[in-house]
Amino acid sequence: MIKLYFWSTPNAYKISILLEELTLPYEVVPIHIGKGEQFSSEFLRISPNNKIPAIVDTCGPDGKTISLFESGAIMIYLADKVSSELYPRDCANRYSVLQWLMFQMGGIGPMLGQAHHFRKYAPEVIDYAVNRYTNEAHRIYGVLDRRLCETEYLGGGNYSLADIATYPWLRPYKWQGQNIEQWPNLQRWFSAVRARPAVQRGLAVLADKVDRTGAKPDGERWNNLFGDTQVTQGASVSGSGDES
- CATH number of residue 31's parent domain: 3.40.30.10
Contacts of residue 67, defined as CB under 8 A and 6 or more positions apart, other chains included, come to 45, 46, 54, 55, 56, 57
Neighbouring C-beta atoms of residue 66, cutoff 10 Å? 15
* CB distance 12 to 202 below 8 Å: no
| Same structural domain, 49 and 108 | no
Domains contained in the chain, number: 2
Average pLDDT in the chain: 92
| Same structural domain, 64 and 113 | no
| Same structural domain, 101 and 190 | yes
- Report strand pairing: 66-69 vs 54-57: antiparallel
Averaged over 203-216, what is the pLDDT? 78
- CATH number of residue 165's parent domain: 1.20.1050.10
Q: Which band of pLDDT confidence, cut at 50, 70 and 90, is reported for residue 226?
A: confident
- Report strand pairing: 26-30 vs 2-6: parallel
Averaged over 104-125, what is the pLDDT? 96
| Same structural domain, 81 and 37 | yes
Averaged over 104-119, what is the pLDDT? 97
Residue 210 pLDDT greater than 80, yes or no: no
The whole-angstrom separation of Cα 93 and Cα 80 is 14
Contacts of residue 45, defined as CB under 8 A and 6 or more positions apart, other chains included, come to 67, 243
Residue 95 pLDDT greater than 80, yes or no: yes
| Same structural domain, 145 and 236 | no
SS3 153: strand
Which residues face 66 on adjacent strands? Answer: 57
If you ran DSSP here, which 8-state letter would residue 104 be given? I
pLDDT at 240: 35
Q: What is the dihedral of CA 116, 129, 143, 189, to 10 degrees?
A: 20
| Same structural domain, 48 and 112 | no
| Same structural domain, 32 and 105 | no
| Same structural domain, 108 and 188 | yes
Task: For 182-196, write each residue's pLDDT tens digit.
Answer: 999 999 999 999 999
| Same structural domain, 20 and 115 | no
> Which residue type is seen at 67?
S
The whole-angstrom separation of Cα 242 and Cα 73 is 25
Residue 243 pLDDT greater than 50, yes or no: no
| Same structural domain, 96 and 184 | yes
Q: Which band of pLDDT confidence, cut at 50, 70 and 90, is reported for residue 241?
A: very low
Which spans in the chain are helix H?
10-22, 41-46, 71-81, 91-103, 109-116, 127-150, 161-170, 184-194, 197-203, 219-225, 229-238
pLDDT at 216: 74
| Same structural domain, 100 and 180 | yes
The whole-angstrom separation of Cα 139 and Cα 134 is 9
| Same structural domain, 95 and 192 | yes
Domain that holds residue 103: 91-196
